[in-house]
Amino acid sequence: MSYDTQPAASHFVAGGYVEDTAGAEIEVIHPATGAVIARLHEATDRIVELAMVSALEAQEVWAAMTGAERGRVLRRAADLIRERNRALSELETMDTGKPLQETLVADAASGADALEYFGGLAGTLTGEHIQLGGNWAYTRREPLGLCVGIGAWNYPTQIACWKAAPALACGNAMIFKPSESTPLCALKVAEILVEAGAPAGLFNVVQGRAEVGSALVTDPRVAKVSLTGSVPTGRRVYAAAAAGIKSVTMELGGKSPLIVFEDADVEDAVGGAILGNFYSSGQICSNGTRVFVQKGLRDRFLRRLAERLEGVVMGDPMDEAVNFGPLVSAAQRDKVMGYIRTGLGEGARLVCGGEAVPGGGYFVQPTVFADVTDGMVIARDEIFGPVMAVLDFEHEDEVVRRANATEFGLSAGVFTRDLARAHRVIGNLHAGTCFINSYNDAPVEMPFGGMKMSGVGRENARAAIDHYSQLKSVFVRMGAVEAPY
């Protein structure tokens, strides 16, 4: 099977596709060519209202089911996603420009993992019993109600599933707004959930830009907002949610340190730096874009990095031999090229790359800067493109202090053969998701999320359950009530 890039309608609400052409147009562009592959419309107030009402109705039905029944639906959806992995991956590649070689293993597959994992957990969610002498108390783990999910453009299917799976497992409904740059695959997740047995309206997808997102976040019927996006957007969405005292999960940006000590296996460290900078053309929030290399290893590290980057195959992302795709949009390419010019202007040494590739697509070569210093803009800002900054260091204390000198705290990595040092350094780094002798692994069983400006809350693992449910405490008196009067 394969999917048309033009969906039947822009939104998936109340169990089916719905359209309202009064909404502003969204052109969906294939980033490798610049061709328009679909035309959608932003959600109007009418569509948002339909999504709200149907989600609230579905949530009541869903929350009344047992956890095992809910879990069965989620696991069936996981199976359907795996069966359709190729079609979903092809659509994701058309939408995002990421190589099919990547999307076949990292996008729908990761979404299916989340649905399977939280489907398994759904039947295990319990409160606790607390004995208080003759009296006792118990807690009930209850859903929050209606949750809103808002996605970024780099991992559309994965983000939709990472939010939907724990939300639905806990008995909530969700309205999901994909990024306006990559709106296609969340619609397929919604279709599949209905096919798997979810009540109509339980997972609605509405399209739109910031204004639609804002309408969802500020609606008083919404109990929780989960955003994946940049720090500036996070600030706005968090503030809007705070006005309604809504619970939030914020998965935001990063400028994460990857520290390579002299005793590291150089091939592994170079491999980690490649994965942590150039996978998905660098459009990954957790990327280790500040690569601190201890002085004695620096030249060897850079030489092997440049040699291995000769293995990059850039081209049509639908060709499975291609391993490096374009950026998502012309705007993102221009932003990344601006940072490359800034890096050159700041005096960083260009080791390789540095050019945009002429033609209709939004390709930028994998780019490595060496001799980067902490104050440079390219060492401070999240670029969200294929630009690696290599910085030198001498001592462990020094590198830990410099690695922590950022407002971000999403991820961090250490390469060393000295395991005591590895754990000590990781213990001292202010980051939520860390790696030792590896980079960017994101198994569903491991909590994912950031510290400091990089976020609030955790996705994946049991930790996510806390962020999609609330506890009700119940005190039970077994004897007479003693009142003073």
Q: Which stretches of the chain bind ligand NAD, using CB under 6 A?
A: 150-154, 177, 179-180, 209-210, 213-214, 217, 228-230, 233, 236-237, 251-254, 285, 382, 384, 410, 450, 455
- Determine the Cα–Cα distance for residues 371 and 348; give it in Å rounded to an integer: 6
Least distance in Å: CB of 481 to ligand NAD? 49
Least distance in Å: CB of 71 to ligand NAD? 24
Spot the catalytic one: 161, 285, 352, 434.
285
Please enumerate, as own/partner, the contacts of 441-445 that have beta carbons within 8 Å and a separation of 24 or more.
Answer: 442/110, 442/286, 443/113, 444/110, 444/113, 444/114, 444/116, 444/117, 445/117
The nearer residue to ligand NAD, 285 or 389, going by C-beta atoms, is: 285
Write the CB contacts of 190 (distance below 8 Å, at least 6 apart in sequence).
Answer: 12, 176, 203, 204, 205
Which among 114, 110, 106 has a CA at the least distance from the CA of 174?
A: 114
Calculate the CA 465 to chain-centre distance: 17
The nearer residue to ligand NAD, 31 or 253, going by C-beta atoms, is: 253
Spot the catalytic one: 98, 163, 188, 255.
163
- Determine the Cα–Cα distance for residues 125 and 172; give it in Å rounded to an integer: 13
With vertex at residue 181, the alpha carbon angle to CA 356 and CA 355, rounded to the nearest 5 degrees, is 5
Handedness of CA 252, 270, 257, 371 (dihedral sign): negative
Least distance in Å: CB of 156 to ligand NAD? 10
The nearer residue to ligand NAD, 93 or 454, going by C-beta atoms, is: 454
Q: Is 398 tagged catalytic?
A: no
- Determine the Cα–Cα distance for residues 182 and 97; give it in Å rounded to an integer: 10
- Determine the Cα–Cα distance for residues 184 and 153; give it in Å rounded to an integer: 11
Least distance in Å: CB of 205 to ligand NAD? 12
The nearer residue to ligand NAD, 223 or 302, going by C-beta atoms, is: 223
Least distance in Å: CB of 343 to ligand NAD? 19
Q: Is 352 tagged catalytic?
A: no
| Contact between 293 and 392 (Cβ < 8 Å) | yes
Least distance in Å: CB of 415 to ligand NAD? 22
The single-letter code of the amino acid at 297 is L
Write the CB contacts of 324 (distance below 8 Å, at least 6 apart in sequence).
Answer: 99, 278, 281, 312, 313, 314, 366, 386
Q: In this structure, what are the phi and psi dihedrals at residue 148, rounded to the nearest 5 degrees?
A: -110, 135
DSSP 8-state secondary structure symbol assigned to residue 324:
B
- Determine the Cα–Cα distance for residues 50 and 361; give it in Å rounded to an integer: 37
How many residues appear in the chain?
A: 485
- Determine the Cα–Cα distance for residues 436 and 416; give it in Å rounded to an integer: 8
Least distance in Å: CB of 248 to ligand NAD? 12
The nearer residue to ligand NAD, 99 or 455, going by C-beta atoms, is: 455
- Determine the Cα–Cα distance for residues 135 and 436; give it in Å rounded to an integer: 48
The nearer residue to ligand NAD, 194 or 241, going by C-beta atoms, is: 241
| Contact between 146 and 133 (Cβ < 8 Å) | no
Q: Is 163 tagged catalytic?
A: yes
Q: Is 102 tagged catalytic?
A: no
Concatenate the DSSP letters of all residues of 21-62 into one string. Answer: TTSPEEEEE-TTT--EEEEEE---HHHHHHHHHHHHHHHHHH
The nearer residue to ligand NAD, 177 or 224, going by C-beta atoms, is: 177
Least distance in Å: CB of 324 to ligand NAD? 19
- The CA-to-CA distance between both ends of the chain, in Å, stands at 75
Least distance in Å: CB of 123 to ligand NAD? 27
Which among 229, 124, 162 has a CA at the least distance from the CA of 442?
A: 162
The nearer residue to ligand NAD, 149 or 315, going by C-beta atoms, is: 149
The nearer residue to ligand NAD, 84 or 467, going by C-beta atoms, is: 467
Q: Name the residues annotated as catalytic.
A: 163, 251, 285, 459
